Structure 1
Amino acid sequence: MIEEQKFRNEIDELKRELDFYKGLVERLPLSFIYEDSTHGKKAVKEKKEDSVSIESISETVTNGKREFSFISEEKIPFEEIESFLNPILDLVPHHIVFINRHGQITLCNNQVAKDLKVDREEMIGKHIRELLHIPDHQINLLETLRTGKSIVDREVLDKNYGINNTRIIRNPDGSIERVMGAFQFLNTIKEAERQAIAGRIAAGIAHEIRNPLTTVRGYLQLLQSRVDKETAALFSSLLIPEIDRANKIITDFLRIAKPSKTTEEEIQVSEFVNDFLGNFLNSEALLYNVEMVYDISDSVANCSFIGDRDELFQVFINLFRNSLQAKSDRLLRIKICTRLVGRSIQITFSDNGKGIPSSILSHVFDPFFTTKDDGTGLGLSVSKKIIENHNGLMRVTSSDQGTSFIIDIPASIKGE
């Protein structure tokens, strides 16, 4: 009795499963014929007025996995498909280009236009060689079009360095409708690697130059007591200071080229700004007739951060001297404002100087970039490096009303 009931339950379950698949087939917006010779069964779904019919079905079995391909009688123009894909492919950070069987561009995404500096609307309909400006035999898309074989992860070593893949989109009759190319543009990575290597080489050269400078300085100090007063004065007023200046330039350069180890301690914001930093800046402000303003928000009253007090002090001394050199006809006013932004302490160092021209604003943190005759161009780049070594960020804004350097450093909030 129990076995009979179990059998009936299994029959009922099979009926429910069969009804499920019948319902699924009815809902499919397709008409098709599927024959299974193994079981001697044939499934037919008639075409409805609101459905899309199927011209043919192909089946392949790969590693035990069965795959079906449906080809519609009512072929959608590929231009409509590209129009649909275009805004989606604009989100992809790699180059994507479609060409037709004549080698003409039918689609290119925004990243192509951005990196190759072209108007993509003007490129549509033109031959792919007009986009890449290289011989036809070097263009992978044309190779795939000619051979009918896709390219997988090929490294491209011409002026546009990267990894290239191509795929073929075929018509029902097997002819090529489109060839799609995907190119991972690696020029920026290659340039970054090149600069890193150059930086390491330059740092090694700078280190080797500093050693003989130290030796020369030592001998000059030794000779000071053995020469006449006029020569000794020349040593102390010109030669030794110039060697010290050269040594400082090398030290600053090495600070940029090599990450330095910071002496970490917990620093309270208001104490650092008002007492440690303020004591020096106030005396300098008095000397140079500068008005200093400190604005410490209540939001940072209980905040501190982890850092090297002396290195951060150097950052603000560099910013102060930078403001002095940008002084205009009006009284120079420098304001240091601190507040809590998210989980970062934001320190804004602002002045009302003559500002930095927009044409050079993006270069102010570049090593050795300076507009001053006696400048080394390392002050701001060193400052930015110090902030980055504190896991922070440093940026600049400027207008003819003044300049602001904004520094964000991770906060340490009491009670957490």
Structure 2
Amino acid sequence: MIKNFRLSVLIRLLIISALITLLVYFLLVDVRYLRSVYIVFFLVVAIIEFIWYVDKTNRDFTSFLLSLLQEDFTTTFQEKGKGKSFKNLYGALNKITKKFEQISSAKEIQHLYLEALVDHLRVGIISFDKNGKIHMMNLALQKMFDRPQMAFLSNLSGIDERLPNLLLEIKPKENRLLKVKVKDELLHLSIHASEFLLDKEFYKLISIQNIKNELDSNELDAWQKLIRVLTHEIMNSVTPITSLSGTLRQIVENSPHDDQTIDKVTQGLEAIELRSKGLQNFTDAYRKLTKIPTPNYTSLNLDKLFKRIIILVQDQSKDIEIKIEIAQEMQIMGDKDLLEQVFINLVKNGIEALEGRKLPVLRVKAWQDDQTHIAISDNGSGIDEDKIDKIFIPFFTTKKEGSGIGLALSRQIIRLHNGNIGVTSVPGEGTTFIVSI
């Protein structure tokens, strides 16, 4: 009931002194042993209570330290009614608790900020200790590997059995390349490592980036340069041949010679002329790969775009069930003519793949996240695994009468829109092309 510490101590000392005085009186003066026993009992209780009360400061201080150790900042001490010195002591303890709470809060905010910053990166980031325990794996890497947060590096063996050992063995500032397959998509991974010391323990920080798009872009640039050289050289040869063969034909036709000789020369020159024109048309077709115009961006309604495309190919798709799963309000930014050319090419490829199939179905589906994705799927014969990596290479074709530039041209157009086009296929079951813009 009495909160002032000094007064409480003084009262307890007076009570103990009075009990000692009574004990001496009943032992030496009045000689009452039974009462002396009672007084001894109360005296012991009073001394124990006095020690417990005095020791309360130590208990409070211990409670304060344990609260800090356990990061529990809800413990506070009553400052008033205990005298000036205890008011100052408990006030200081409360201020220290508040300061630690602020530091902990700032640390938590900084941690959340750094975590959000790492998750915002488009490069995959993973951090682990020397035992292979994963401490951080950002969203970009989870999305790249199509896996949730993992506990240990060994779990990555489900993606590729070489991956855990490579991450453990890679040295700081070293760069490694690795090809892995995730959900039927081939990834070209560029892996870079660094190390840092935290609480006297080394951690390894790995950045993982899929550079397939960059490799494809460089490959396409190389092909474009080759095409320019080939076009230039072929055209330099074809143009005079075409002109000369036409002139010779006119001279032979207008000159008096033996009919049999004239016929043979004329037939030969006609063959030269026709072949020359065919070669010229050949080079004109492939020249398209190097002369795609800069996209003229406008807002396009995807649903209307594909309905218009289906109308254009309806004569070729009479026996095919076509399903379009696109929200009517879905919009994208792009060049109408260029994107229409890409989607017509992909739809026609799907229709051709369904030739001779029972219950043929062509499905067009679109969805949006950070990009717009358009998937064009068929349940056709599919593409062989040894050919699927080559179908975007200029001049490569799996068709008997194909030119081999349709998909290469489509990929280049999508790249001009800062997008990507990929393919997954299961032989005998079907193929899916996914355009992401």
> What TM-score comes out, normalization by structure 2 length?
0.47
More helix by share: 2
Question: Radius of gyration: which is bigger?
Answer: 2
More strand by share: 1
> What TM-score comes out, normalization by structure 1 length?
0.49
